[in-house]
Structure 1
């Protein structure tokens, strides 16, 4: 449960916890497979791979290109480019088959002990296939980030694939209590999913103040800025954000910053023009230094149909920025105590919540910022997340050694 994870995090600084860390932090050989594009699951997977490598583990990340947030942080971190050949006989390139074969080769050549897949389909599915062709045994850990459970699993055929993949995973990890409960309800797993929250790596934070961020971005120091960052899919409900912004804009002189790219960008631009707020929106597009923008903002908006966790929630939180989020999925677990929750589709309540947070900051901006920063530092650190994963890896390998 997430509560158990948070308790472990809060204990991580005492001496007994340090003894546990020393016991489980033996160098391991781990292969990561994930989506390399901009998106929460790929960013978290890549950052976790890098953090584990910095702690001395040998970590390979296998993908068709360097992931969005990749940095060569350690000599024990390796990137292996996945080559997917396009054959005329197929409608599309056989990505999953190529990944399975490349994984099997990597496992045999490097003695990989753990394959850590982020998403059941296609990444853990490829690892299950690799088990069938690989001459060396390995442990499969599958982290679920939400989409494969709450969206893909609605397809009966895909449900059977995901169920098989999760059943054949030695451990399933979910990023929130809500996602763990949904996974448990939808699939017949032999073990209840482990809950390990997401985190913000120290190197990804903007180290300066809101004033410094605005100076670098050439934003008005006295301005009020709302912000949203995503891959602009329909599930993110960005039209709701624009409509709520238009309501807030009637009462408060403010601007909306939108970061990211995706299929909903052009429809959102059309809506902004229709509502007369197009010129009040800062259309940033894809931006590698995203946390500088978060640091410059007053309020974050996350109005998705569903988020198992919502990485941008803590990316903003660590910069002292509160969030207005929909009361669904794992977002209430994250936002509680720092921001405000609204029901899906309630544009009026969203606008009122945004204005309430702005008013609160007008009275005591420092207090609002510190409340967010304290929760981020107490609940979502990379060290605690690494320790939790090391414990999972260690437990699996000890069990496997006993049964060998």
Structure 2
């Protein structure tokens, strides 16, 4: 454990991808994308990077929160709607001496978890532009959880959660959010269209509401271990190794297999266990916009999504290699081995930086793509990517 901490202290954050505005670098009139990992200049060491389609966030090792990208609806938390090209510390949180444990990026809002177990949110509150006509076709509602439709331009604590229990995990989707309590309760809120809240209904909740499905598991002595939301899709890994999924499954990212539904959209409104994993126990997963990656307890890796793989397929692992981390971006997913090699199904870089491993039927990233440095961590979202290199 000590070795991994030392490695992270010396590792630096690099970003690259298709949306330069969400990558944290100064943008020029000719810059539309960044093709290779580029060092992100930040005044202090970073422990976590979360990239989004329009805005992104970083947590420093000292617990400060930095945001950048589009500031519409106040989702950057700086009391304005300015677009910020480079990471900027949220001073209001620093002045309150709050230490940030985690951050989740939705399409239009931001969710923050402090080390004290409090949840703070900012951004789009849910009020729709377009008046009565638009309201006929779409629900109002956003992922802030304050009981109203108002935008928040600075981080604002969710009092209802603060009064009930400490929160240990958070996640954010397009217009909804989730939080996992220390007791194992799963709180959901936001726009409920397409069953994204997992309550079996499409109802919108403006305040955090317990998902009763998970209360049943708590009574059985089973708790959620990891929660994740991406867009309109949701996954929860239970501490008994079982996976539950719900929400949007249009490209098969929920790993539910090939079956015909009568619904207009391919969605699940209540948590369901994929048949494929019923005889397996998982120890980790990563959910992307159009694909997902799963790691079993016996270290097998599976990939699902992009319409081609609605039924999960196994990704081969080099003989003797140990998996350090799995990752899922928009379409590409794969794993990082303990020796620092990155393998993926789908391209992370232009062809000259990817080498096809015929035996594995995967792409291996050439070391020159990472400037011949050691990869400590890798991930991303929305065709944007990050890595920690040392």
Which structure has the larger Rg?
1
Which of the pair has the greater relative contact order for Cα pairs under 8 Å at 6+ separation? 1
TM-score (norm 1): 0.25
More helix by share: 1
Question: Which is strand-richer, 1 or 2?
Answer: 2
Give the TM-score normalised by the residue count of structure 2.
0.26
